[in-house]
Amino acid sequence: MLSIIVTNLRRRPTRTVFTAAGIAVGVATIVALLAFTQGLRETAAGLVHLGGSDLGVFQANVSDPTASVLPQSMVGRLKQSAQVTEATPLLLMVEAVKGESAAIAFGADPEGFFSKSLVIVAGGRPGSQAGEVLVGDRLAARLKLRPGDRLGVQGRQLRVAGVYHAGIYFEDSGAVLSLGLAQSLTGRAGEETAVAVKLAPGTSTRAAASAIERDFPGTQTISEPDQALRAGANATLISKAILVIVVIAIIVGVIGVTNTMAMAIAERQAELGLLSTVGWSPVRVATLILGEGIAVSVIGAGAGLLVGVIGGDLLVKALGVSGYVTPSVTAWGLGRGLLVGVAIGVLGGIYPAWRVTRMTPLKALAGT
């Protein structure tokens, strides 16, 4: 049976290739979007636990956590809480690094645990000299920066004091400067984007988060990646887009496979009638048609998986947003893409297979 299916598909290569290509486009889009969603989740995990913090405090009801604005004065009040051991303010500067628009510049208190958690791999920490910056090792590699070089941040040339590694992708793809310098460059004196918080041992994260939100109305605490994703609209839009594209891909794919197999039946009536006369049952002939539809879909799905994995990474690099999110391909993401491809083959082959069971051998041989 399998050899017959392969032979039949090879007899009409153009039709097979175009049908498989249509399926591949839908599957590739699904795989790429799933990889983006997983990448966003991993980026969100890094945003929540910057510097090894247990949770982050952000402004409530903002379109994105990076757009949060908080008063720096609340840091002192947070430190007074019995549930908090350390709290450090952070000011995130988006699209501020010259030559690398996706990189994030972090304004941080040099004495806070965020700055102290950075592992210096070249050079040293900024000293008393004004206008110095630390650069993540990933950003340093992309821009070929070394200690003593200059980096443009928010329109000002800063001296690279050292190169650091933090272990968080978008943090290592960015730069860190003093909070005061960041506030001066952005004109946001006395303001911060977030407060990174470390909790006392044995403290319930949920209880501490509730207490902070109660004591500081208008704030939201984020301790889990899914909370960070829900705080912005991007992940929700991508999740909805995946559902829409899955439905569209299935509908278009089913129509394509159905059309292909229906045309094949019309062209091969005599052949199918001959199979019936030599002892093939209607169910067996229908299985052959259904198998051809599934085979075309699996070929398309396989190509789509490859294009989705490679294309997603190339698209992120082309758009220059690798500092924010990197596609993360998982086995479950690939599995869902393959399932869509198989579903297209099964659904698209049902009607043609049913038509075959309604054909009589004599009419099939006569081509009517």
Question: pLDDT confidence of 187, banded at 50, 70, 90?
Answer: very high
Instruction: Give the C-alpha distances (Å, rounded to integers) separating 307 from 35, 241, 266, 303, 332.
Output: 12, 19, 33, 6, 17
Average pLDDT estimate for 166-195 = 90
Instruction: Give the C-alpha distances (Å, rounded to integers) separating 253 from 210, 295, 324, 344.
Output: 48, 13, 33, 6
Over the stretch 318-360, which tens digit does the pLDDT of each residue have? 766 555 567 778 888 888 888 888 888 888 888 777 777 766 6
Determine the Cα–Cα distance for residues 341 and 353; give it in Å rounded to an integer.
Answer: 18
Average pLDDT estimate for 65-81 = 87
Residue with the larger pLDDT of the pair 367 and 207: 207
With a cut of 90, say whether residue 152 has pLDDT above it.
yes
Of 52, 50, 84, nearest to 215 (Cα)?
84
Q: What is the mean pLDDT of the chain?
A: 82
| pLDDT given at position 226 | 62
| pLDDT given at position 171 | 86
Tokens linked to 244: 């829409």
- What percentage of the chain has pLDDT greater than the value 90? 29
With a cut of 50, say whether residue 109 has pLDDT above it.
yes
| pLDDT given at position 361 | 57
Q: Is 368 helix (H, G, I), strand (E, B) or coil?
A: coil
With a cut of 90, say whether residue 240 has pLDDT above it.
no
Over the stretch 5-14, which tens digit does the pLDDT of each residue have? 777 778 778 8
| pLDDT given at position 325 | 64
| pLDDT given at position 367 | 52
Instruction: State phi, psi for 163 to the nearest 5 degrees.
Output: -115, 135
Using only C-alpha atoms, the chain has a radius of gyration, in whole angstroms, of 29
- Domain layout of the chain by residue ranges: 2-43+235-366, 55-222
C-beta of residue 88 within 8 angstroms of C-beta of residue 196: yes
With a CB cutoff of 8 Å and minimum separation 6, the contacts of 42 are 169, 225, 326, 328
With a cut of 80, say whether residue 276 has pLDDT above it.
no
With a cut of 70, say whether residue 2 has pLDDT above it.
yes
Over the stretch 295-322, which tens digit does the pLDDT of each residue have? 888 898 899 899 888 887 787 777 665 5
| pLDDT given at position 259 | 79
With a CB cutoff of 8 Å and minimum separation 6, the contacts of 269 are 359, 363, 364, 365, 367, 368
Residue with the larger pLDDT of the pair 22 and 110: 110
| pLDDT given at position 233 | 46
| pLDDT given at position 237 | 53
Please calculate the CA angle 303-309-315 and round it to the nearest 5 degrees: 115
Determine the Cα–Cα distance for residues 38 and 330; give it in Å rounded to an integer.
Answer: 8
- What percentage of the chain has pLDDT greater than the value 70? 81
| pLDDT given at position 137 | 95
With a cut of 80, say whether residue 102 has pLDDT above it.
no
Over the stretch 119-136, which tens digit does the pLDDT of each residue have? 999 999 997 667 899 999
